Amino acid sequence: MGLIGDVVIGILAGWVTGMLRRGRGYGLVGNLVVGAVGASVGGFLVGIVGFEPESLLTGVVTAVGGAFGLLYLVERVWQRAWQGTVD
């Protein structure tokens, strides 16, 4: 899709992920940034498996999965580093 398409999908993925997490996360801007990074991570991981998102829908699903996973990992690292516990 290109760099601009990937960024737009990543921003959309961050917004969707923030909505799915029901208010949890890092605010609008933080979720959008994590969504963009998560989209890159998700695209990389599915590329390793041999799957290439070819449509907008598969790109968004991949990006949301990557963003959701990245937010989960960031939250766990944050809890461990600053609070000393993980739920």
The per-residue pLDDT string of the chain (87 residues; one tens digit each, 9 = 90 and over) reads 566 777 778 778 877 777 777 656 567 787 778 778 888 888 888 888 888 777 778 878 888 888 888 878 877 887 777 776 555
pLDDT on residue 2 = 66
pLDDT on residue 57 = 82
- Output the pTM of the full model: 0.70
Total residue count of the chain as it appears in this document: 87
- Could you tell me if residue 73 is inside a domain? yes
Both tokens of 54, joined, read 């070819």
pLDDT on residue 80 = 75
How many structural domains are present in the chain? Answer: 1
Structural domain harbouring 15? 3-77
Q: In the 8-state DSSP scheme, what is residue 60?
A: H
- Could you tell me if residue 53 is inside a domain? yes
